[in-house]
Amino acid sequence: MTHSVFIAGEWRPARSIGTFRTQNPATGEPLTGEYPISSWDDCDAALSAATEAAQELRRVPPEKIAQFLNRYADRLDMLKSELSQLAHFETALPVSPRLADVELPRTTTQLRQAAAAALEGSWALPTIDTKANIRSCLAPIGPVVVFGPNNFPFAFNGAAGGDFAAAIAAGNPVIAKGHPLHAGTTRTMTDVAAGALADTGLPAPTLQLIYRMEPSSGLRIVSDRRVGATAFTGGRAGGLALKAAADGAGKPIYLELSSVNPVVILPGSLEERGEAVADEYAASALLGGGQFCTSPGLAILFEGSGTGRFVTALTQKFDAAVPVPLLSAGVARGLTESVQVLRGAGAELVTGGVRLKPDTPNGESSRFANTLLRVTGRQFLSSPDQLQTEAFGSAVLCVIVRDGSEAAAVIDHLEGSLTGCIYSAQNGDDDALYADLAPRLRARVGRLLNDKMPTGVTLSPAMNHGGLYPATSHPGFTAVGIPASLRRFGALHCYDNVRPGRLPAALRDKSPNGRMWRFIDGQWSQADVPV
């Protein structure tokens, strides 16, 4: 049986050019059913339906959009066990706590925050100049294509995750390109969304689903005249190819790609609380098999006995933890290759570095030993590009520098990353090093942390899950954090001398809801325009 795609409001057979199957990465067993690889015809049909839906959505009051997002969240919560079980089979991520207790609640919280943001309307930065009678706000950008990644079957799912929620809350329809590794989870979530759309009376093509398409169709869809913007979370090669296509057509594309997430551990912090830092590091690096965008893949440490003890402790913890099955055998294969590249560039293997035997006789293993590697600062500086190869999984490279100036040089050679952390002593011993290194690290990352590992990406209005190229495509935007993440999907619409009755609700003298923050004559205010 081949599953249907969801296009123009109906589940229908794909116009496909082939099929694929999913499998349980823990066992290598194939899961039931085949999924279609869509031809351009499916993409084209989805774009046409999305264009019409975009026009309809402009006439829909925000209350209805919020109602849909809330109802969708409620229904997902009700199906928590089933969804977690399904996602577990497809991803090997544990049902509990990961899928059922962390990721699904995160996903529905995100949907509800998006609902609240749509309802309030402040995300659009409505700005009113009463004297000149010029008014502006962000408005829906048009159909948004969301490419979901492999590593979050719920929270970054193209049909339910953060990009989806932000695009919908900003008033846009979404064409979800689900990740093939968890096609069944995405299909089920889309079906839940379809029910919520019908319940609330939104246009059915507010969400459409394609599981997989030819690479050439991917390049074509992100650059199509009908599309408003694209959000892509995933690997660098695919993301940059899509970016080139979208850029060439003048279409915004927001990427959230791989990143090594440097952690600088200053010597005083190890003197003070070395064991605790090693605990925190190991827990963060091993979490979810290290398969996070913000996994701490690169530690910068200072030569000395504290670092020696830290590496020993980390090694013990890595050895003691049983490697989990990764998201697919392909991920294990990629990790094998990355570790080879790192070793080829001079990194010394401290522990791990090998792929484990398959669990089933004929299967391909999806497990890889927890891996720690080490280079000196000098070696790093001789091959800085290769030694920043992302090793997606639980693999950490320790760069051991001689002194502050070598640390500074290493940091200055880092590519853009989503996050950067600095651990320093509480007693002030590291303050001089911090003062020199923090501004350098600040310039390379989107989120700077103190004394804290990067893998928790709090759902906060102040979050930046973004950073410099090549971790993302634009340093001014974040993929997580409402309301800011919605602004990626807005076009600035200005109204100059437009008659009052013709203005959108957000820009009329009377506040549409008494809660929307508007920048009126230089002041942020929730009130009506003063008479």
Using CB under 8 A as the binding rule, the residues of this chain from 383 to 422 that contact a copy of itself are: 416, 419
DSSP E strand stretches across 190-333: 207-210, 229-233, 253-256, 262-265, 298-302
CA distance 107 to 157: 9
Is residue 141 involved in binding a copy of itself (CB under 8 A)?
A: yes
* Helices (H), ranges, 252-328: 267-286, 305-320
Considering only residues 480 to 509 of the shown chain, the ones binding a copy of itself according to CB under 8 A are 481, 484, 487-488, 490-499, 502
For the bound state, the minimum distance from the C-beta of residue 127 to a copy of itself, rounded and expressed in Å, comes to 4
Single out the segment in contact with a copy of itself by CB under 8 A; choices: 40-48, 87-95, 133-141, 374-382. Answer: 133-141
Is residue 444 involved in binding a copy of itself (CB under 8 A)?
A: no
Is residue 235 involved in binding a copy of itself (CB under 8 A)?
A: no
CA distance 354 to 346: 17
Single-letter residue type at 524: W
For the bound state, the minimum distance from the C-beta of residue 480 to a copy of itself, rounded and expressed in Å, comes to 10
CA distance 106 to 170: 20
Is residue 323 involved in binding a copy of itself (CB under 8 A)?
A: no
- For 56, half-sphere exposure in the C-beta direction (CA atoms, 13 angstrom radius) is 15
Contact, 77 vs 108, CB < 8 A?
yes
| Nearest-5° Cα angle at 310, 304 to 311 | 95
The closest alpha carbon to 406, from 435, 436, 430, belongs to: 436
Kindly tell me which of 63 and 431 has the beta carbon lying closer to a copy of itself: 431
Kindly tell me which of 356 and 459 has the beta carbon lying closer to a copy of itself: 459
| Position among 97, 250, 361, 514 found at the interface with a copy of itself (CB under 8 A) | 250
Annotated active-site positions, please? Answer: 256, 293
Is residue 432 involved in binding a copy of itself (CB under 8 A)?
A: no
Q: Kindly state the number of chain residues that form the binding site for a copy of itself, as judged by CB under 8 A.
A: 72
**Omega of the bond prior to 140 within 30 degrees of 0, cis?**
no
For the bound state, the minimum distance from the C-beta of residue 457 to a copy of itself, rounded and expressed in Å, comes to 9
- For 154, half-sphere exposure in the C-beta direction (CA atoms, 13 angstrom radius) is 31
* Helices (H), ranges, 345-372: none
**Omega of the bond prior to 361 within 30 degrees of 0, cis?**
no
For the bound state, the minimum distance from the C-beta of residue 142 to a copy of itself, rounded and expressed in Å, comes to 8
Is residue 354 involved in binding a copy of itself (CB under 8 A)?
A: no
Is residue 461 involved in binding a copy of itself (CB under 8 A)?
A: yes
Q: Mapping DSSP to helix (H, G, I), strand (E, B) and coil, where does residue 16 land?
A: strand
Is residue 529 involved in binding a copy of itself (CB under 8 A)?
A: no
Kindly tell me which of 38 and 294 has the beta carbon lying closer to a copy of itself: 294
Kindly tell me which of 99 and 471 has the beta carbon lying closer to a copy of itself: 471
CA distance 190 to 519: 37
Is residue 517 involved in binding a copy of itself (CB under 8 A)?
A: yes
- Which residues sit opposite 253 in a β-bridge? 230
- For 107, half-sphere exposure in the C-beta direction (CA atoms, 13 angstrom radius) is 29
Kindly tell me which of 34 and 129 has the beta carbon lying closer to a copy of itself: 129
Considering only residues 48 to 87 of the shown chain, the ones binding a copy of itself according to CB under 8 A are 55, 58
Considering only residues 196 to 225 of the shown chain, the ones binding a copy of itself according to CB under 8 A are none
Kindly tell me which of 68 and 123 has the beta carbon lying closer to a copy of itself: 123
